[in-house]
Amino acid sequence: MNLDLNKIKELIPHRHPFLFVDSCKIIESGKRGISKRKFLPSEYFFEGHFPTNPIVPGVIIVEAMAQTAGIVVSHSFENVKDKSVLFMSVNKAKFRKPIKPNDIIEFEVNFLNKVKSVYKFEGIARNNDIIVSQSEFSAMITFGNILK
C-alpha cells in the first residue's frame, strides 16, 4: 500500500519543517516499509551544515528512518485515535556516504521485536541502491494523546 503525504500526516504528528518523509510504501503493516525523501537545496539545515559543502545531518537521517517505522507501526493501528509513537533509543548508527542536496533517499525499516509497547526496528538508508546509512532504534507507542 502506497501512502501519500496527506495519509502520512494522519499516522504521525510530524509536520514541516520536521517531517522527513515524502511518501511511504507499507510492505507489511506493523513490520516493514520503505519511505522516500528528496532533500531539496532549500532545506533549512543545509545553510549551516555545511555552507560550502552541504550534507544532510546524521540525526536527520536517523529521524527519517524512525519516522518511517512510526508510519509502519501506526498503520497497523490505523483505526485507533489518539496514538503517539515516541522515539526512545538509537543504536549501531553508521553513516557510510554523505547525502547531498537533490538526493532522493529510500529509508527501509524492518521490525526486529516488540516488548510490551516498545517496538525495535532496523533501518537502512539508500541512495540509488547504495547504502548510505543504517541503524537500529526503538520507539514506544502510546494510546491517549500524551503530547497535549
Each residue's pLDDT tens digit, 85-102: 889 999 999 999 999 999
pLDDT at 125: 98
pLDDT band, very low/low/confident/very high, at 146 (cuts 50, 70, 90): low
* pTM for this prediction: 0.94
- Which residues lie below 8 Å from residue 36, measured CB to CB, with a gap of 6+? 21, 22, 23, 24, 104, 105, 106, 107
Of 69, 122, 63, 70, the closest CA to residue 92 belongs to 122
Residue that the C-alpha cell 526512545 belongs to: 88
pLDDT band, very low/low/confident/very high, at 66 (cuts 50, 70, 90): very high
How distant, in Å, are the alpha carbons of 53, 82, 136 from that of 61?
17, 27, 12
Under a CB-based contact definition with an 8 Å cutoff, are residues 8 and 71 in contact? yes
Asked whether the predicted pLDDT for residue 40 surpasses 80, the reply is yes
Asked whether the predicted pLDDT for residue 143 surpasses 90, the reply is no
pLDDT at 82: 78
Asked whether the predicted pLDDT for residue 48 surpasses 70, the reply is yes
Q: Annotated catalytic, 49?
A: yes
- Which residues lie below 8 Å from residue 146, measured CB to CB, with a gap of 6+? 84
pLDDT at 145: 59
Q: Of 14, 16, 49, 75, which one is the catalytic site residue?
A: 49
Among 63-77, 78-92, 117-131, the minimum mean pLDDT is found in 78-92
Alpha helices in the chain (DSSP H): 5-11, 58-76
pLDDT at 83: 79
